[in-house]
Amino acid sequence: LRVRAIFFAMITLAVAAAFQTLASQLSDITGGEDGLTFKLPQLLSPSFEPFEEPFLGVTIDGRLISYYLLFVTAVVLVLALLRIVNSPFGRVLQAIRENEFRAEAIGYRVVVYRTTSSVLSALFATVAGAMLALWLRYNGPDTSLSFEIMMDCLLIVVIGGMGTIYGSAIGAVLFLVAQSYLQDLLRMGSEAASALPWLSALLSPDRWLLWLGVLFVLSVYYFPTGVVGRLRAAAAPRTRAAR
């Protein structure tokens, strides 16, 4: 509660690393490095097929039901976050973000609001972790507390735009699309540049992490406030002109 900005993120990463080590050591509770596997209800099992014939050309099974269950849950969580941000409580949090001293001078108990916001963020993160475990049918230190996951979350927020729920959603979509299709694009580029061995090697699909890093640097350079921040800045003059 005493740290701000980048220092808060650094301490969060340090605490997550400490808990990852703790989860690896408490094998009786967490399963250690091997993690925990568990059975789901029959309704969510891939072998569960409620209909013998495909519905609208799609075979309905437990895996598909799990997907839409998690999708609906994610949408509900995003809507709940938007409701919190646009509530009087969320407005106070925004005021604290802009000028903590002034918010405290007005009469708001800043420590209480900061603590409540941390608890709420932990609650939503817990639900997200449960959704991930439900999809993987497994949970372990590497899937929930690894440094790579923390960095992915940070990249998603920076790309989409900090301080906005829409930015997190857009950043997640762009990040996952880049992870899923960047290798395919590099493979096509490598084949097209086969006449130039050095360029073909540079565009090798095995170097997709390198190009992902380049794309991230470019996005930060050209979109310092994220995609949503850039779109809002571009829309602001038009809004003022319309008024």
Tens digit of pLDDT for each residue in 5-48? 678 778 888 888 888 888 888 888 888 888 888 787 887 777 77
**Is residue 218, in this structure, part of any structural domain at all?**
yes
Whether residue 157 is found in the same domain as residue 123: no
Whether residue 183 is found in the same domain as residue 208: yes
Alpha-carbon Rg of the chain, whole angstroms?
A: 22
Question: Which pair of structure tokens corresponds to residue 66?
Answer: 């799990």
**Is residue 49, in this structure, part of any structural domain at all?**
yes
Whether residue 86 is found in the same domain as residue 168: no
Domain span at 117 = 35-145
**Is residue 100, in this structure, part of any structural domain at all?**
yes
Residues with Cβ within 8 Å of residue 51, at least 6 apart in sequence: 60
**Is residue 129, in this structure, part of any structural domain at all?**
yes
Count of structural domains, the chain: 2
pTM of model > 0.85: no
Last residue of a domain, one of 145, 163, 181: 145
**Is residue 12, in this structure, part of any structural domain at all?**
no
Q: What confidence tens digit (pLDDT) does each residue in 154-177 have? A: 888 888 887 788 888 888 888 888
**Is residue 133, in this structure, part of any structural domain at all?**
yes
